[in-house]
């Protein structure tokens, strides 16, 4: 005699539903093994449902919610997801220690946590924590909106801290030339590869107005050389969560020693790179290893800056972002328009772009040059 479940398709097997659409598989985990990732998503779906509807998590509704949660988890970049996970884990453990629920979290509880972390974190760190908590609540299907208990407390914390924001120092052509001088001349052989790589990395990062994550993600297939220069294909960027991608054009420079196109051509030819990452890690002997990381870019900049004796103004910090900031600032100093800068930097918010313009204007329009000094 057939069982009550006879005729039920296994999970993953398409079954025609109403109006010819494919119905979602039934979560019959008693007879079909479910992989750990699916189990995790089903558990999150069960948690997202109201208690009165929790029993539906074992059916098609639970499978649909689990699939939606899976898509939602890919809404942010892997790097952002990792940061959110770490900040949420710390908040969750704090809630356990206090004997209170973390999901949903009462606004006054979140305000208390921010106050507890204010001793060791500044403005950006506290706001990142708040973003992680909000992200976790929205992912669980819970309504999240700024509450006065949180926003008022955060404003008070920031007023009390009054920590000055340290922007990345803009590294313009003047600083770039100093850094290039610290890369040394090419002695030939494997020993010259680190200097060639760093020279190409600094020039491409500066001329391309690239973030460090964009630099290290570049593959050989993302570079197209042209008669005028080259075109970089940026496949993923901070402001491009949907992965539409963008093309960045870099023209040939007037100086042989500062031309970003020539520097990259020389590096790729000498290193023999025909595929994969164009900026890999290198051993002390010049042996190519895996892809360079964002932290690796920071170490290269710090090392070359130390060799060059390069310092940045007080109140600013040396950072790979300075390559991007320097490109935008110098472009404005030479009369670039907002739309030109936004297109090259792949910026969508004019407020961000004009922040760099204000920095350039402070330098160019200072009335002190009119003084008889």
pLDDT at residue 2 tops 50: no
Structure confidence at residue 17 (pLDDT): 41
Of 75 and 362, more confident: 75
Q: What is the mean pLDDT of the chain?
A: 80
| Residue 359's pLDDT band (cuts 50, 70, 90) | low
Structure confidence at residue 249 (pLDDT): 92
Structure confidence at residue 340 (pLDDT): 85
CB 329 within 8 A of CB 341: no
| Residue 279's pLDDT band (cuts 50, 70, 90) | very high
Return the minimum-mean-pLDDT range out of 41-55, 114-128, 142-156.
41-55
Structure confidence at residue 243 (pLDDT): 60
Question: In the structure encoding, which two tokens stand for residue 79, read together?
Answer: 């790097």
Pairing of strands 22-23, 15-16: antiparallel
Structure confidence at residue 263 (pLDDT): 95
State how far the Cα of 194 lies from the Cα of 282, in Å rounded to an integer.
Answer: 7
How many CB atoms are closer than 10 A to CB 126?
19
pLDDT tens digit sequence for 16-73: 344 443 444 444 444 445 677 777 777 777 776 777 777 777 788 778 877 877 776 6
Structure confidence at residue 4 (pLDDT): 41
Return the minimum-mean-pLDDT range out of 93-107, 288-302, 336-350.
336-350
Structure confidence at residue 231 (pLDDT): 93
CB 230 within 8 A of CB 251: no
| Residue 299's pLDDT band (cuts 50, 70, 90) | very high
- Torsion of the alpha carbons at 232, 236, 240 and 245, rounded to the nearest 10: 40
Its CATH class, for the domain covering 173-364, is mainly alpha
Of 360 and 176, more confident: 176
CB 196 within 8 A of CB 186: yes
Q: 78-161 domain in CATH 1.10.150.130?
A: yes
Of 136 and 165, more confident: 136
Structure confidence at residue 230 (pLDDT): 93
CB 193 within 8 A of CB 282: yes
pLDDT at residue 110 tops 60: yes
State how far the Cα of 159 lies from the Cα of 122, in Å rounded to an integer.
Answer: 11
Domain ranges in the chain are 22-73, 78-161, 173-364
* Maximum average pLDDT range among 19-23, 260-264, 309-313: 260-264
Structure confidence at residue 74 (pLDDT): 67
pLDDT at residue 148 tops 60: yes
pLDDT at residue 371 tops 60: no
Structure confidence at residue 135 (pLDDT): 87
* Maximum average pLDDT range among 62-71, 130-139, 267-276: 267-276
* Mean pLDDT score, 76-104: 86
How many CB atoms are closer than 10 A to CB 84?
20
Structure confidence at residue 32 (pLDDT): 47
* Mean pLDDT score, 98-127: 87
- CA separation, residue 263 to residues 133, 198, 273 (Å): 44, 10, 14
pLDDT tens digit sequence for 163-220: 666 788 889 899 999 999 999 888 778 888 999 999 999 999 999 999 998 999 999 9
Return the minimum-mean-pLDDT range out of 43-52, 99-108, 298-307.
43-52
Q: What percent of the chain has pLDDT over 70?
A: 80
pLDDT at residue 8 tops 60: no
In what side-by-side order are the strands of the sheet with 246-251? 223-225, 229-234, 246-251
């Amino acid at each position: 005699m057939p069982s009550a479940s006879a005729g039920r398709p296994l999970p993953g097997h398409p079954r025609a539903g109403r109006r010819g659409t494919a119905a979602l598989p039934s979560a019959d985990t008693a007879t079909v093994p479910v992989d750990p990732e699916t189990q995790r998503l089903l558990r999150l779906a069960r948690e997202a449902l109201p208690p009165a509807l929790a029993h539906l998590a074992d059916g098609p509704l639970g499978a649909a919610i689990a699939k939606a949660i899976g898509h939602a988890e890919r809404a942010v970049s892997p790097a952002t997801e990792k940061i959110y996970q770490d900040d949420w884990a710390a908040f969750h453990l704090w809630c356990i220690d206090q004997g209170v629920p973390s999901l949903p979290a009462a606004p006054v509880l979140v305000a208390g946590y921010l106050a507890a972390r204010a001793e060791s974190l500044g403005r950006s760190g506290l706001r990142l924590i708040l973003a992680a908590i909000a992200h976790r609540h929205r992912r669980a299907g819970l309504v999240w909106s700024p509450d006065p208990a949180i926003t008022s407390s955060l404003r008070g914390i920031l007023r009390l801290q009054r920590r000055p924001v340290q922007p990345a120092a803009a590294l313009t052509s003047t600083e770039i030339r100093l850094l290039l001088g610290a890369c040394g001349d090419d002695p030939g052989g494997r020993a010259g590869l680190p200097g060639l790589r760093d020279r190409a990395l600094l020039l491409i990062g500066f001329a391309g107005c690239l973030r460090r994550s964009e630099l290290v993600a570049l593959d050989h297939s993302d570079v197209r050389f042209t008669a005028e220069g080259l075109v970089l294909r940026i496949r993923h960027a901070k402001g491009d969560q949907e992965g539409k991608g963008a093309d960045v054009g870099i023209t040939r420079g007037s100086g042989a020693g500062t031309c970003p196109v020539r520097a990259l051509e020389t590096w790729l030819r000498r290193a023999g790179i025909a595929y994969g990452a164009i900026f890999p890690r290198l051993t002390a002997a010049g042996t190519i290893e895996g892809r360079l990381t964002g932290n690796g870019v920071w170490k290269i900049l710090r090392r070359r800056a130390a060799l060059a004796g390069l310092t940045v103004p007080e109140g600013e910090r040396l950072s790979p972002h300075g390559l991007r900031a320097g490109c935008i600032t110098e472009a404005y100093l030479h009369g670039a328009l907002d739309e030109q800068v936004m297109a090259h930097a792949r910026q969508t918010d004019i407020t961000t772009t004009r922040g760099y313009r204000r920095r350039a204007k402070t330098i160019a329009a200072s009335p002190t040059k009119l003084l008889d000094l």
